[in-house]
Amino acid sequence: MTRAAAAVDRLIARYQTGLSPRKGWSCAHRVAHGGSSCSAAVRELVVRRGVVRAVLPTAARFVACYQAAALLAQTDVQGVCCCGGIPIPFRFPSR
């Protein structure tokens, strides 16, 4: 792994352990489609491909996450339960 990739990997790891748990929401792509969060996916891309070769797939992932957020905003989904890797949206009854 190059120095740049190692530095980006450390920065993403700090984000994942320091900021992400405190921000109050989850990755829209992960909520809508299951699988890994954007930070985990980008971290894997950087480790496998290096920083430069990870730029376009990272941009594509962020666009997909934006689209997932727009999709979720149109619904009244309050949570997602994964059953065998398949995300199943649910909502709690209104009180």
| Tens of pLDDT, residues 26-47 | 888 998 898 999 999 999 999 9
Residues 6+ apart with CB under 8 A from 50: 1, 2, 4, 5
pLDDT category at 1 given cuts 50, 70, 90 is confident
Phi/psi zone of residue 81: left (φ > 0), alpha (ψ -120 to 50 degrees), beta? beta
pTM: 0.74
In a domain, 53, yes or no: yes
> Rounded to the nearest 5°, which phi and psi values hold at 87?
-75, 130
- If one counts the domains in the chain, the total is 1
> For residue range 13-26, what is the model confidence (pLDDT) as tens digits?
999 999 888 877 78
In a domain, 52, yes or no: yes
In a domain, 95, yes or no: no
In a domain, 48, yes or no: yes
> Can you give the residue range of the structural domain that contains 44?
3-90
pLDDT category at 59 given cuts 50, 70, 90 is very high
